[in-house]
Amino acid sequence: MLPRSLYVHVPFCVRRCAYCDFAVEAMRDAPTADWLRAIAKEWDLTAREMGWAGPLSLDTVYVGGGTPSLLDAGAMSALAETVRRHATWHPASVEWTCEANPESFSAEIARDWKAAGINRISLGAQSFDERVLRWMGRLHGAEGPGRAVATAREAGFDNVSIDLIFGVPGRLERDWEADLERTLALAPEHVSLYGLTAEIATPLGRWVRDGRETLADEDRYADEYLLAHRRLTDAGYEHYEVSNFGLPGRRSRHNFAYWTGVPYAALGPGSHAYYPPVRRWNARGWHEYEEALRDSRSPVDGEERISVEDAALERVWLALRTDLGFPVAEATPVQLDLARLWEGAGWAQTAEDRVRLTAEGWLLLDRLALDFAAAGEARHELTGFASRPAPD
Ligand code: SF4
């Protein structure tokens, strides 16, 4: 099976946000020409290595970062030309998403992206609260997301997603409900939520380690998540995946490639590709990545072969993280017993021949997926699950 989705990573940001663990380099001016050259080289190397007999047929392209809106005007049409060396897509049916940050998403960039064929914008808003934005190290102010959405609309984009971060430290006294209301007032087609975590290599990770910062506790984290679920679903959004909400017909098609276990191609530093059964990833550093390609070497830094056991666990985890759920017809009797216990706890519902997690269940996704996968292999009745404590 050939990839029908492509991810392209832009590893440049003006500065690194306090919580960010992504593959990015801080710089004011993104080296657009160098980036395009490196991506083109990697694409050629990949096509040769994979032995694709003809051009791939792509359904989705996702340009993420980093900050793609830092690249010069013209970058996306040049990228499209490069990708077309080994792939085709139908302009009317492809979903081509590009991430943007409010401070660099100018009217010029918006028009340029529209002309290049991009038809979906994913906007890194994170919050509408000045204090929270400053604490995060974001470059835009409270009015930034609204201006950026207006810019996107004026350029003709009718598919805009807004990213929000919840679970920030309680001492910031962030009004999460107000942020949700301001998001809804902008009428985006899609909303993505990210629960704040403190990765060890980030400034936030160091603050937490040194006792200078405390993340939201589990109660606050769960309350904010469930409030977002209620508020957004009341407003007509479908909570279709643990972190994602879309108006009907506006789900992210690209992300479904990740969640359904099909192959996807990827380019750029730190990007991950999946050519079943192998998942592989590139060098994270921009300079290391670019140097490899300048020397015509592969930038791939590692790979793992997904075993049959891991594939089974992943399949469960992926099925449970979306509202597609797990097919009842494929569940073992022990898994069905477990699903009934989850229903009693409010963590799952079984309907239309699928076991689906509820928002309360998604708060426990990793634990529940492990248990469900284990139950798929169990040959005897499970006894331990009934005593599982409710989320606290
Ligand atoms: S803008 Fe995004 S990618 Fe860039 S540093 Fe901030 S969180 Fe990371």
The pLDDT tens digits for 127-153 are: 999 999 999 999 999 999 999 999 999
Q: How many whole angstroms from 137 Cα to the centroid of ligand 1? A: 9
Q: How many whole angstroms from 7 Cα to the centroid of ligand 1? A: 17
Q: How many whole angstroms from 64 Cα to the centroid of ligand 1? A: 10
**Ligand 1 atom 3: the closest Cα is on which residue?**
66
Q: Is residue 316 part of a domain?
A: no
Q: How many whole angstroms from 160 Cα to the centroid of ligand 1? A: 19
Query: How would you class 2 by CB atoms within 10 Å of its CB: exposed for 0-12, middle for 13-18, buried for 19 or more?
Result: middle
Q: Is the CB of 325 under 6 A from ligand 1?
A: no
Q: Is residue 301 part of a domain?
A: no
Looking at the fold, whether 147 and 229 belong to one and the same domain comes out as: yes
Residue 379 has pLDDT above 60, yes or no: no
**Ligand 1 atom 8: the closest Cα is on which residue?**
20
Looking at the fold, whether 255 and 331 belong to one and the same domain comes out as: no
Reported as a pLDDT band with limits 50, 70 and 90, residue 84 is very high
Q: Is residue 75 part of a domain?
A: yes
With contact defined as beta carbons under 8 Å apart, do 313 and 373 qualify?
yes
Using alpha carbons only, give the angle 189, 194, 196 rounded to the nearest 5 degrees. 155
Q: Is the CB of 67 under 6 A from ligand 1?
A: yes
Reported as a pLDDT band with limits 50, 70 and 90, residue 220 is very high
Mean pLDDT value of segment 246-255: 96
- Taken as a whole, the chain contains a residue count of 392
Looking at the fold, whether 133 and 37 belong to one and the same domain comes out as: yes
Please give the Cα distance from 263 to 280 (Å, whole number): 11
**Ligand 1 atom 6: the closest Cα is on which residue?**
17
Reported as a pLDDT band with limits 50, 70 and 90, residue 60 is very high
Strands 5-10 and 265-267 come out as parallel
> What is 106-163 written as a DSSP string?
-HHHHHHHHHHT--EEEEEEE-S-HHHHHHHT-SS-TTHHHHHHHHHHHHT---EEEE
Residue 329: domain span: 321-387
Please give the Cα distance from 89 to 107 (Å, whole number): 26
Q: Is residue 291 part of a domain?
A: no
Q: Is residue 14 part of a domain?
A: yes
Instruction: Give residue 208's pLDDT.
Output: 95
Mean pLDDT value of segment 321-336: 94
Reported as a pLDDT band with limits 50, 70 and 90, residue 388 is very low
Q: Is the CB of 252 under 6 A from ligand 1?
A: no
Residue 118 has pLDDT above 60, yes or no: yes
Instruction: Give residue 277's pLDDT.
Output: 92
Domain of 104, CATH number, reads 3.20.20.70
Mean pLDDT value of segment 165-191: 97
Atom of ligand 1 nearest to the CA of 15: 5
Q: How many whole angstroms from 66 Cα to the centroid of ligand 1? A: 5
Q: Is the CB of 101 under 6 A from ligand 1?
A: yes
Q: How many whole angstroms from 149 Cα to the centroid of ligand 1? A: 19
- 38: tokens are 């490196």
Reported as a pLDDT band with limits 50, 70 and 90, residue 383 is very low
Count of structural domains within the chain? 2
Residue 248 has pLDDT above 90, yes or no: yes
Q: Is the CB of 22 under 6 A from ligand 1?
A: yes
Looking at the fold, whether 242 and 336 belong to one and the same domain comes out as: no
Q: Is the CB of 123 under 6 A from ligand 1?
A: no
Reported as a pLDDT band with limits 50, 70 and 90, residue 392 is very low
Mutation pick for ligand 1 pocket among 22, 139, 140 (CB with most ligand atoms within 8 Å): 22
Q: Is residue 136 part of a domain?
A: yes
Looking at the fold, whether 55 and 130 belong to one and the same domain comes out as: yes
Q: How far is CA 353 from CA 243, 245, 356, 369, in A?
A: 23, 23, 10, 18
Reported as a pLDDT band with limits 50, 70 and 90, residue 378 is low
Instruction: Give residue 295's pLDDT.
Output: 97
Please give the Cα distance from 207 to 379 (Å, whole number): 47
Please give the Cα distance from 90 to 54 (Å, whole number): 16
Please give the Cα distance from 327 to 210 (Å, whole number): 46
With contact defined as beta carbons under 8 Å apart, do 296 and 45 qualify?
yes
Please give the Cα distance from 50 to 11 (Å, whole number): 24
Reported as a pLDDT band with limits 50, 70 and 90, residue 380 is very low
Looking at the fold, whether 354 and 242 belong to one and the same domain comes out as: no
Cα maximum dimension of the chain: 63
Residue 29 has pLDDT above 70, yes or no: yes
Atom of ligand 1 nearest to the CA of 136: 6
Mutation pick for ligand 1 pocket among 9, 16, 101, 162 (CB with most ligand atoms within 8 Å): 16
Looking at the fold, whether 255 and 325 belong to one and the same domain comes out as: no
- 195: tokens are 């629960």
Reported as a pLDDT band with limits 50, 70 and 90, residue 314 is confident
Q: How many whole angstroms from 352 Cα to the centroid of ligand 1? A: 40
Mean pLDDT of the chain: 93
